Amino acid sequence: MILKKLTLFNFGIYAGTNTFNFDSDKPVILIGGMNGRGKTTFLEAVLLALYGRRSFAFMESKLSYPAYLKKVINIADGSLQAQIELTFVAGNRTNKSEFLLRRKWAAKTKDIKDSIHVFKNGKEDTFLSDNWAMYIEELLPSAISNFFFFDGEKISELAVEPTGEQMRSSIKTLLGIDVLDRLEADLNKILAGKSKKLVDSEYHAQIQELRKKEDELDTRLTTIHHDIVEINTFNDKYQREINALEAQFIAKGGAVGSNKGELLARKNHLENKLGDANEELLELVSAELPLALIEPLLRSIFETASSEQAARHEYLANQRIHQLLAKFRHGKKTVPKQLESFISFIESATKTEIQENGSKYDLSESALLQAKMLSNSFLHDKKRDAKRLQERRTKIKAELSEVENYLVIEVDETVTGSIYANIKKITAQIGANEEKKRQLEVEEAEVASQFTQVQRELVRLIEKSLSELESMDEAVRIVRYANIALQTLTAYRLRLQAQKTAVLAEKMTECYKKIVNKKNLIARVEIDKKTLDFIYFDANGIVVDKKRLSAGEKQLMVVAMLWALALCSHNKLPVIIDTPLARLDLAHRERMVKSYFPYASEQTIILSTDAEIDRRYYKLLKPSIGKKFTLKYDDESKSTTIIDGFFEGSENA
């Protein structure tokens, strides 16, 4: 389904005739307008044209249908008439048809009624005109229309609320599971009708009693589920109140006042730690550390003293050689002249070196060892220790300063006490609600178990009563096979729903990761196969509390859900998004613009202010934009007209 044209006559803020021509080979259509200029009215017009009194925009108005039709008429020209014409193409690739849908009404009488005329491929089709409600339900059921035509700001709460009955029904419709519910209802009708023919059976009274009990238990289960949903809604409301009060409590210094004793103890502890660090540093600077100032001189002394020591050792060695040589000669042995010449050379060289270098320091062995230690690692270690101590002192001082800053805050304990009392009161109410919810959940499990037992007993009695009948007439056969069909249907529904929800959850996770910025917040989405509630998991497989999601993250999660539902339904339908980026931060806006809008559908109509799709995002979207319009408001006529182009200046970005 692709929208081709929308013409509004005296509808809402649009006076006279105004036409949107969507015909384009690119997927994105931009409609720009400031707040109150007719963007939401555009969405209402499409819904009213398609669904009339089944439009969710009308149902949200809480008005009667005639009152709603009267309310949306623009009375500027005095005609008191309004009309919507919507042209679209529907069908598969080989068999497409163009439809023109015209819905009009007038407020000239109290009993306002709308009329609808449908033209197919240029010719009026009276059958479609008379049966349009049935046809559009096949093409795009009203129950799922809010998955394709939605307000970005209003949908965010769907991410955190338990799946309601209407939402559950819509998801089933979109996934094609609702046909099983209709089949079950039809089978139950058949059973109820045909069971009347078994009055003569001795089990009839028991069967009727069990059916009554089955209905009572089913009603009780519905009531319990409603009560649990209501408690969750109240607790969410109370939690928002607590969040607001906690913010006030902190702003008024309540956290400081309540922790003053801890802060004083913390201050005393930090002062002691600072004193210890100062003492350690004093020990360092009063010992060897000052020698670090002359570290190059110490290294030079060590090198020179080492050279002196080596020269002395050579000299002593030479003296010893002479002593040994004298003993050798005393034994009347002859020394070769070459050896005597070499020994004389060594002696001469040693004397020369000693004479040239002198004895500058003449350090002892122990003094030289100390100089070596100082010039190697000792002073380096001391400097490192001093640096660590300085860093520790700086950190302690910073913490001490922070604690002292808290301690000097003036706290109005009367105000903070009142806020804290309110927080405790609401927290107690939440606790009481949670306890009530726990009791309801226990009761729900018990009632569900009783319901299952009653169903089993009912099936057993019906089968037993049938087996004892002498003849198997048509009613008996129908009841028997209807019961078999119901049992099979129950098992099949659970399996099919589990399969469909698993695929939907996987697709939703994939869509979410394409548009979300925080990769580590939600890593996986699962859907309860029975309740169709959405459950979010982080990267560690831990369930994410839905209350932790910001307004923007809620919107992104629902967008991912709607995107996944559209993909899983395999319906080629247009998407209309009103206020798409209002709650999103810059990073998430860019992800939506780049990863969602161009791929949401074959046709995506975006209703935006200039603060949402600005020059930067327009430039990113430009390759995908087919048509663009701006809604211009006239203060004198109090009406909006349509101008080609998207906000003056944006297209030159």
Q: If pLDDT is split at 50, 70 and 90, which confidence band does 317 have?
A: confident
Lowest mean pLDDT among 200-209, 292-301, 448-457, 519-528: 292-301
Percent of the chain with pLDDT over 70: 72
Which pLDDT does position 471 carry in this prediction? 47
């309004």: which residue's tokens?
A: 82
Is the predicted pLDDT of residue 88 greater than 90, yes or no? Answer: yes
- Please check whether residue 534 is in contact with residue 160, taking contact to mean a CB–CB distance below 8 angstroms: no
Which pLDDT does position 29 carry in this prediction? 93
Picking from 11, 35, 12, 15, the residue whose alpha carbon sits closest to that of residue 636 is 15
- Bigger pLDDT: 543 or 263? 543
Alpha-carbon gap, residue 553 to 532, rounded angstroms: 20
pLDDT digits (tens, 9 = 90+) for 324-358: 767 766 665 666 777 667 777 776 666 665 555 55
Picking from 150, 250, 161, the residue whose alpha carbon sits closest to that of residue 565 is 150
Lowest mean pLDDT among 340-344, 380-384, 465-469: 465-469
Token digits for 352? Answer: 């020369």
Q: Rounded mean pLDDT of the chain? A: 78
Is the predicted pLDDT of residue 525 greater than 80, yes or no? Answer: yes
Which pLDDT does position 160 carry in this prediction? 46
Token digits for 374? Answer: 């100082």
Helices (H), 408-473: 413-467
Is the predicted pLDDT of residue 258 greater than 60, yes or no? Answer: no
Which pLDDT does position 615 carry in this prediction? 87
Is the predicted pLDDT of residue 161 greater than 80, yes or no? Answer: no
Bridge partners (DSSP) of residue 639 are 634
Kindly give, in sequence order, each residue whose CB lies less than 8 Å from that of residue 45, ignoring residues fewer than 6 positions away. 6, 8, 11, 12, 84
From first CA to last CA, the distance across the chain in angstroms is: 32
pLDDT digits (tens, 9 = 90+) for 470-485: 444 566 667 777 777 7
Alpha-carbon gap, residue 81 to 108, rounded angstroms: 8
Q: What is the mean predicted confidence (pLDDT) over 568-579?
A: 78
Alpha-carbon gap, residue 336 to 322, rounded angstroms: 14
Residue ranges per domain, the chain?
A: 2-175+498-652, 260-407
Using alpha carbons only, give the angle 327, 330, 331 rounded to the nearest 5 degrees.
95
Is the predicted pLDDT of residue 420 greater than 80, yes or no? Answer: no
Is the predicted pLDDT of residue 64 greater than 80, yes or no? Answer: yes
Which pLDDT does position 261 carry in this prediction? 61
Alpha-carbon gap, residue 342 to 349, rounded angstroms: 11
What letters, b where the CB count within 10 A reaches 16 and e where it falls short, cover 3-35?
Answer: bbebbbbbbbbbbeebebebeeeebbbbbbbee
How many CA atoms does the CB half-sphere of 204 hold within 13 Å?
A: 12
Is the predicted pLDDT of residue 404 greater than 80, yes or no? Answer: no
DSSP for 564-630, please give it: HHHHHHT----EEEES-STT--HHHHHHIIIIIGGGS-SSEEEEE-TTTS-HHHHHHHGGGEEEEEE
Indicate the helix (H) or strand (E) that contains 492.
helix 474-515
Determine the CATH number of domain 2-175+498-652.
Answer: 3.40.50.300
Which pLDDT does position 470 carry in this prediction? 47
Q: What is the mean predicted confidence (pLDDT) over 560-578?
A: 78
Q: What is the mean predicted confidence (pLDDT) over 494-522?
A: 78
Q: If pLDDT is split at 50, 70 and 90, which confidence band does 30 have?
A: very high
Lowest mean pLDDT among 219-223, 298-302, 494-498, 561-565: 298-302
Which pLDDT does position 41 carry in this prediction? 93
Alpha-carbon gap, residue 565 to 505, rounded angstroms: 9
Which pLDDT does position 84 carry in this prediction? 96
Per-residue HEC secondary structure of 331-396 comes to CCCCCCHHHHHHHHHHHHHHHHHHHHHCCCCCCCHHHHHHHHHHHHHHHHHHHHHHHHHHHHHHHH
Token digits for 82? Answer: 């309004």
